[in-house]
Amino acid sequence: MPEITITDAERRRSTTRILDVREDFEVADGMIAGALHIPMGQLQARLFELDPAAPIIAVCRSGNRSARVADALDGAGYTADTMTGGMTAWVAAGLPVHRPGAARTQSASRRTP
């Protein structure tokens, strides 16, 4: 399964489905705007939500779960990459984070506790 950098993910996110496979409590801290959230444990039951013709970038906290998900998706006929470093790297780089239920997307470096 190919790994891509956070820079590549940011560049491709308007043309590629971002799939956040973290748990609900992790996503509450913020996710990539426009990402589809399906926790890894629910993926098999919710595959119908993914378009097999659309490329996918799988994202988790650090890149471990998303690598397993991308491998499984590739094996099921999807085209999937994993984002190296996960949301930890995304936030550390100051890239925009959407908080579910929040009114707007914020830069990770401007978030308040």
pLDDT on residue 96: 92
pLDDT on residue 100: 79
The contacts of residue 5 (CB under 8 Å, 6+ apart) are 83, 84, 85
Q: What is the pTM of this model?
A: 0.87
Of 9, 58, 60, 89, which one is the catalytic site residue? 60
pLDDT on residue 68: 96
Q: What is the rounded distance in angstroms from the CA atom of residue 22 to the CA atom of residue 35?
A: 11
pLDDT on residue 111: 42
pLDDT on residue 99: 87
Enumerate residue ranges in the chain where pLDDT < 50.
104-113
Reply yes or no on whether 60 is catalytic. Answer: yes
